[in-house]
């Protein structure tokens, strides 16, 4: 008799499989574990000022095109932006990018995102990822983590909104809303399950 796993358990299993698959692919390509695990032990933001500017440009593009997104960002406890998530290896299919977390009070911190083939199915060389923390509790849980994985440590409701779409914190499922944008600024729907985010030094 086949048993049915709860939804949360299924998400954790999918996330673990995604991370395990990324590890296997990296090893096959000869890449170090840090390339997919996102360890921040000896990694720093190369140019924090430039990264800040790119992050602000992504936010401006996102909020200018969609009032619903702007409403979420304006009320958020924190917003984490990865302006350029790029392929880290054609063979491994692992993609990564550095980003900036801006708290409601203006404080900043820097993070690295690593995902297994994030968006590779759509044929995109790079994309921007924006995570909007709608509650202080969700933000603090994220900040307290030593490494945070989507679908394991928290869920992200990825939104794909048309221009002018209406959305607010009451219409988002969960405490964290996500947006994935192409280079042209078009919002698309991609699963972020299995994506790992770790803090790095500025």
Other beta carbons within 10 angstroms of residue 169's beta carbon come to 14
Assess if residue 1 is contained within a domain.
no
pTM metric for this prediction: 0.74
| Residue count of the chain | 202
Assess if residue 2 is contained within a domain.
no
What pLDDT shows up at residue 118?
A: 55
What's the domain range around 185?
A: 7-200
User: What are 188-199's pLDDT values in tens digits?
Assistant: 767 788 899 999
What pLDDT shows up at residue 170?
A: 61
Look at residue 131 and tell me whether its pLDDT is greater than 80.
yes
Assess if residue 109 is contained within a domain.
yes
Count of domains forming the chain: 1
User: What are 18-63's pLDDT values in tens digits?
Assistant: 444 444 334 333 444 444 444 444 467 668 899 999 999 999 998 8
Work out the average pLDDT over 126-147: 93
């Amino acid at each position: 008799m086949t048993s049915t796993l709860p939804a949360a358990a299924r998400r954790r299993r999918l996330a673990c499989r995604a991370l395990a698959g990324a590890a296997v692919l990296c090893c096959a390509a000869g890449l170090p574990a840090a390339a997919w695990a996102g360890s921040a032990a000896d990694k720093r933001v190369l140019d924090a000022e430039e990264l800040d500017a790119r992050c602000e440009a992504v936010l401006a593009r996102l909020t200018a095109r969609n009032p619903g997104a702007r409403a979420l960002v304006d009320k958020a406890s924190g917003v984490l932006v990865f302006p350029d998530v790029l392929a880290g290896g054609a063979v491994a299919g692992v993609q990564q990018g550095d980003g900036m977390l801006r708290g409601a009070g203006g404080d900043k911190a820097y993070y690295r995102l690593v995902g297994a083939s994030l968006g590779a199915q759509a044929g995109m060389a790079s994309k921007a990822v924006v995570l909007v923390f709608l509650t202080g509790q969700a933000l603090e849980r994220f900040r307290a983590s030593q490494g945070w994985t989507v679908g394991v440590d928290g869920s992200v409701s990825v939104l794909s909104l048309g221009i002018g779409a209406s959305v607010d914190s009451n219409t988002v499922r969960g405490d964290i809303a996500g947006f994935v944008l192409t280079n042209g600024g078009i919002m698309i729907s991609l699963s972020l399950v299995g994506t790992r985010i770790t803090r790095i030094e500025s």
